[in-house]
Amino acid sequence: MNAQDFERWTQASLNAFESALDDLVPAGAPAGLGEAMRYAVLGGGKRLRPLLVLASCAAVGGDSFAAMRAACAVELIHAYSLVHDDMPCMDNDVMRRGKPTTHVAFGEAQAMLAGDAMQALAFEVLTPLESEGSGIAPALQARLCSLLARSAGHDGMAGGQAIDLASIGKQLNEATLRDMHRRKTGVLLQASVMMGAACGPASPRATQALSDYGAALGLAFQVVDDILDVTQDSEVLGKTAGKDQDANKPTYVSVLGIHAARTLAQQLRAEAKAALAASGLADVSHLSLLADSVVERDN
């Protein structure tokens, strides 16, 4: 697959995703809550996690309706985490995706509730009612909910965020830093791949290979994020640059140095691609090119 074909696939996938997400996030939730939810999740972001779901589903020849629901669910979880992470009690940031953070735009209480509501909505999306049209088999609903809940909870994203906050001003070795970021960022990216794979008849070999791909990609994403935090400005990033350094948080750049961090990102990309090559799947080009986009991105 060449770059133009990948760009066409990406744009078509994103158009379908944005339409589905727009339909699923209610504008009419009480007391302006819907407006805050839609502000937080619609019309911005890299949408890497949804693309990973859709690409993984395509690689295993899976159910496109279930995959689109899974793509929307994982983005809702990601967006809720950003809303809460930006609040004064956490990272206290004022810009996200090139606009004021949700608590700046709507107030802290409404932002907290918007995050809570998006977290719940993610699981509603994965368990559609019969009246909503096409269904998802109960066993697949359970599998998707399990993958998403485990990646977002105490042993995944929330646990990683807790370690992150507890590590401010502390010296971490690489193994501890890797574990923190595996939980905080990597596991949800890995779950995105696995949710897409769950939507189709993936063999045990393919499932393990996709899990390995997702693990390597998830860590690579965070390594590159740490590099960009010190090499790009806020306008390019769409969020406050240098925030981790100013807050005295341990990062791959502070622990390894920028050259070693860049080398690690390249190594992780190679690991991700090696996993795809071992999958036995006929066409993993979308996933391979998504790995390139993660490592080569500038924001």
Q: Which CATH number is 225's domain given?
A: 1.10.600.10
% of the chain beyond a pLDDT of 90: 84
Q: Which candidate, 214, 196, 202, places its Cα nearest to that of 53? A: 196
Alpha carbon 149 to chain centroid distance?
A: 14
**Half-sphere exposure of 202 toward its Cβ, with a 13 Å CA cutoff?**
27
Q: Which residues contact 200 (CB under 8 A, 6 or more apart)?
A: 57, 60, 61, 62, 63
Checking if the pLDDT of 245 tops 80, the result is no
Question: Around Cβ 168, how many Cβ atoms within 10 Å?
Answer: 11
Average predicted confidence (pLDDT) for the chain: 94
pLDDT for res 125: 96
pLDDT for res 132: 67
pLDDT for res 217: 98
Domain hosting 156: range is 3-296
The answer to whether the beta carbons of residues 126 and 69 sit under 8 Å apart is yes
How many structural domains compose the chain? 1
Segment 130-136 shows an average pLDDT of: 73
* pLDDT tens digits for range 18-63: 999 999 999 999 999 999 999 999 988 899 999 999 999 999 999 9
Buried b (16+ CB within 10 A) or exposed e, 116-150: ebbbebbbebbbbeeeeeeebeeebbebbbebbbe
pLDDT for res 14: 97
160 vs 85, 177, 187, 221, CA distance in Å? 12, 10, 10, 15
User: pLDDT band for position 127 (50/70/90)?
Assistant: very high
pLDDT for res 129: 79
pLDDT for res 241: 66
pLDDT for res 44: 82
User: pLDDT band for position 234 (50/70/90)?
Assistant: confident
How long is the chain?
Answer: 299
Beta bridge mates, 95? 100
User: pLDDT band for position 298 (50/70/90)?
Assistant: confident
pLDDT for res 295: 97
Checking if the pLDDT of 247 tops 90, the result is no
Segment 97-113 shows an average pLDDT of: 96
Provide the token pair at 50: 């949804």
Residue 245: phi and psi, rounded to 5, are -65, -45
How far apart CA 152 and CA 134 sit, in angstroms, is: 26
**Half-sphere exposure of 61 toward its Cβ, with a 13 Å CA cutoff?**
7
* pLDDT tens digits for range 175-201: 999 999 999 999 999 999 999 999 999
Q: Which residues contact 223 (CB under 8 A, 6 or more apart)?
A: 181, 252, 261, 264, 265, 268
pLDDT for res 239: 67
Q: What is the DSSP-derived secondary structure letter of residue 184? A: I
pLDDT for res 171: 87
Beta bridge mates, 99? 96
The answer to whether the beta carbons of residues 222 and 186 sit under 8 Å apart is yes
Checking if the pLDDT of 81 tops 70, the result is yes
Alpha carbon 239 to chain centroid distance?
A: 16
The answer to whether the beta carbons of residues 52 and 90 sit under 8 Å apart is no
Checking if the pLDDT of 170 tops 80, the result is yes
* pLDDT tens digits for range 196-223: 999 999 999 999 999 999 999 999 999 9
* pLDDT tens digits for range 139-158: 999 999 999 999 999 999 99
Q: What is the DSSP-derived secondary structure letter of residue 183? A: I
pTM above 0.85, yes or no: yes
pLDDT for res 299: 82
Provide the token pair at 91: 């990272």
